[in-house]
Structure 1
Amino acid sequence: MNAIEIHDLNVWFGSGPDRANAVRDVSFDVADGESFGLVGESGSGKSTILRTIAGLVPTWSGQMTVAGEQLGRRRSKAFYSKVQMVFQDPYASLHPRQTVDRVLSEAMHLHNVPDIDTRIVSLLDDVGLGSGFRFRYPHQLSGGQRQRVAIARALACDPSILLLDEPTSALDVSVQAEILNLLVDLRREHKLTYIMVSHDLGVVGHLCERIGVMKDGRFVEVLAVEEMRRLEAKSPYTRHLLESSINSIH
């Protein structure tokens, strides 16, 4: 069974002579419980796909079915209880004047989650922080700790799908591995489905089973991570990406 089905997706910005086509004729499926990576150079359209699924980009055509719901221009409240997004920058994604407790409790109030007090403690344990961080402000946290809070907020309503937009790229290299390992553990424990955007093939290889390679808004090819590690790409563009990242994918 597929958690996500995308068919003939086109996304654009602007109109008339100013129209810019960001995603062109993209189709892919993600099985329930799978982790699927989107890779490519900056501007290839990979983050735009995530933002369109999340309902942050209204100008698109095609068909998208996510968590059993065929998507239109607006997202239902039920959609956001099943699908959540973790953004690239943990510094920008948390309100500087809200404690961790308030960030998490507001997310749960939105979705009518019961027993918020107990759930906050459980979430902080899940992301490796513990209750000692509950009443801290973002400026009292490191980048890695802030991203753990952002992940906890995404998990607050117990979703089945996480959209991960370069969740480690703004972090120090030593912290990146910790967050990736956390995401691996959370996926297993909560039976989550991931779509992960990254420009780093090593990161995608650590977390995903398959990757879609993008260039100029289109899919160049889809390959299994094992094929990626063996450098078995059909497209010259994918081979170039793999060869330039050869040290990070093994």
Structure 2
Amino acid sequence: MSAIDIRNLTVWFGHGADRADAVRDVSFEVADGESFGLVGESGSGKSTILRAIAGLVPTWSGQMTVAGETLGPKRSKSFYRKVQMVFQDPYASLHPRHTVDRVLSEAMQLHGVRDIDTRIGRLLDDVGLGPGFRFRYPHQLSGGQRQRVAIARALACDPAIVLLDEPTSALDVSVQAEILNLLTDLRQEHKLTYVMVSHDLGVVGHLCERIGVMQEGRFVEVLSVEAMRRQQAEAPYTRHLLESSINSIR
């Protein structure tokens, strides 16, 4: 069974003469437990797909079935227990006046999670932060530590699917590898399904099995990461991306 099944998805902004289609007739599936990447240049529609799945963009057509639920204009509470999202900027996604404890507690209270105190300690261990980080504020954390908190918040309600919107692009290169390794370990431990957006083919090659290549809101092709590493792309645009990134994916 597919964890995610997207059919003929079109997403737009504006209306009438001002309408602009950001995603155009996109279809793809993500198997349960798979990690699927979306790549392409800025403005190609990658992040818009994630936001449409998460219910952050109301103007869309097509069919989306996620975690067994056929999606409509609004997302159910149960949807957000099954599907969570990690954003690009770990500082902007955390309330500056809330401690790590409050960030994680509120996420669990919202979804009726029990034994919050014990679970917070376990979450901090899972993401490589000890109990000493529990009552710190975002400004007291490094970028990598803030992203670890954001990942812990996404896992607070024990989701099955995590949407990753460029989760390492705002971090130093040395920290990027640590976060990617963490995401790899968490996926195995928690049996997660990932959809990851990135402009960096090296990042996608580290975490994903397949990638969908996007250009101007459309899918150019879908290929395996192994085919990507062997430079076995069919579309000229994909070959161009690979040639530009050849050093990062080897």
Displacement of 1:246: 0.2
Q: Distance in 1 between matches of 2:131 and 2:52?
A: 35
Determine the structure 2 residue equivalent to 1:74. 74
Identical aligned pairs, as a percentage? Answer: 86
Q: How does 1:1-250 map to 2 (within 5 A)?
A: 1-250=1-250
Letter in 2 for 1:97: R
Letter in 1 for 2:151: I
Q: Secondary structure at the match of 2:92?
A: coil
Displacement of 1:170: 0.1
Give the 4+ runs in structure 1 shifted more than 6 A.
none
Q: Deviations over 1:147-197 (max 9, x none)?
A: 000000000000000000000000000000000000000000000000000
Q: Deviations over 1:187-219 (max 9, x none)?
A: 000000000000000000000000000000000
The aligned length equals 250
With the length of structure 1 as denominator, give the TM-score of the two structures.
1.00
Q: Deviations over 1:129-163 (max 9, x none)?
A: 01110000001000000000000000000000000
Letter in 1 for 2:76: S
Pairwise CA RMSD:
0.3
Q: Deviations over 1:214-250 (max 9, x none)?
A: 0000000000000000000000000000000000011
Q: Secondary structure at the match of 1:94?
A: coil
Letter in 1 for 2:30: V
Q: Distance in 2 between matches of 1:31 and 1:132?
A: 38
Displacement of 1:90: 0.5
Q: Secondary structure at the match of 1:196?
A: strand
Q: Secondary structure at the match of 1:223?
A: strand
Q: Distance in 2 between matches of 1:105 and 1:131?
A: 14
Q: Secondary structure at the match of 1:105?
A: helix
Structure 2 residue ranges without an equivalent (≥5) = none
Q: Deviations over 1:83-133 (max 9, x none)?
A: 000000011000010000000000000000000000000000000001110
Q: Distance in 2 between matches of 1:140 and 1:22?
A: 37
Letter in 1 for 2:11: V
Letter in 2 for 1:86: V
Q: Distance in 2 between matches of 1:93 and 1:162?
A: 15
Q: Secondary structure at the match of 1:177?
A: helix
